[in-house]
Amino acid sequence: MPARKTILRELDRTRRAQPTSPFVRPSTLPGYAERPDRYQSAVNELLRARLLEGVRDEEGRMAIAINEHRLADVHRELRPLWARPAVWVLLAIVLAVGAGLAI
């Protein structure tokens, strides 16, 4: 799974489990220890897209959480492949072309 989706999925789980303090350090996310450069670039990309918000925790380190104002965009990014409208349109086109060739 791409780092971007892993980060968003874990932060969404944290937000649901701990609604009062949803902020976590990026280094605590699963997969971060194996590929820190990839995960840090994904965190920076999500911060620039404003899907995440970052703050400093009590020790002065960065903590991130899902931006509550962009929650719909986060859920749109996390939805599975078959739930995307473009996939259904492509499937309909392929079926229509296949039906046209069969006739």
Range of lowest pLDDT (4-8, 17-21, 22-26, 63-67): 17-21
Domain range for 58? 3-102
CA dist., res. 43 & res. 41, Å (int): 5
CA dist., res. 70 & res. 23, Å (int): 16
pLDDT of residue 103 exceeding 80, the answer is no
Contact 7, 29 (CB under 8 A): yes
Answer yes or no: pTM beyond 0.85: no
Residue where the block lists tokens 């932060």: 11
Token code pair at residue 34:
């194996």
Token code pair at residue 96:
């229509």
User: Any idea what the CATH number is for the domain that residue 80 is in?
Assistant: 1.10.10
The string of pLDDT tens digits covering residues 22-74 is 899 999 999 899 999 999 999 999 999 999 999 998 899 999 999 999 999 99
Domain count, the chain: 1
